[in-house]
Amino acid sequence: MSGEKGQSLVLEPTPPAGEPFVPTPEETAGPFFRPNSPAKNNFREAGVSGAPVRLTGFVLDRKGDPVSGVLLDFWHADDRGEYDFKGYRCRGHQFSDARGEYVLETIVPGLYPGRTRHYHVRLQAADGPILSTQLYFSGEARNATDSLFRPDLLLKLRRGAASVVATFNFVIELGA
Ligand code: FE
């Protein structure tokens, strides 16, 4: 598993000294966030179907250094385009590990009216501000008509042996 994880690392080249990384753009959390999600890094549990995705990457600070212990709270629609408001299906939080890495085993989210395909996530380092944002899939017809879509929030997609590997590295502001 660690080998497969290693192959998914896609770190951008380090910019010249003193040039900060651009923070990940903020987007609305939208109306479907639920607080108090359980600790969970695998959404492919009973009652969840859909094409498997391993969503992974690093959390970096503005110098490009990995940040451990950052809360990542993910939520998204199921493969029918529905959010769970009774329980926490396709909802869960985790913390970036000692190398700043996160891994979420999940599915391709379904489409729902008015939106292109997306994941939601809220990140927060200890004492840092909350960053709410969304992640998108390339090749989606609705990307052209969804006003929230941003090309700088596109996942890097790669087909693995058992699932699609979707990579995104977040850049966050740290607390004072
Ligand atoms: Fe949504």
pLDDT at 147: 97
Residue 3 Cα to ligand 1 middle (Å): 32
Specify the pairing of strand 164-167 against strand 156-159. Answer: antiparallel
Residue 31 Cα to ligand 1 middle (Å): 8
Global pTM value: 0.88
Residue 146 Cα to ligand 1 middle (Å): 12
pLDDT at 154: 98
Residue 38 Cα to ligand 1 middle (Å): 19
Domains of the chain: 21-171 (2.60.130.10)
Residue 175 Cα to ligand 1 middle (Å): 28
d(CA 35, CA 38): 9
Q: What is the pLDDT along the chain (176 residues), one digit of tens a residue?
A: 344 444 556 666 655 566 589 999 999 999 999 999 999 999 999 999 999 999 999 999 999 999 999 999 999 999 999 999 999 999 999 999 999 999 999 999 999 999 999 999 999 999 899 999 999 999 999 999 999 999 999 999 999 888 899 999 999 998 76
Residue 148 Cα to ligand 1 middle (Å): 10
From residue 44, give the alpha-carbon distance in Å to each of 16, 88, 106. 41, 12, 5
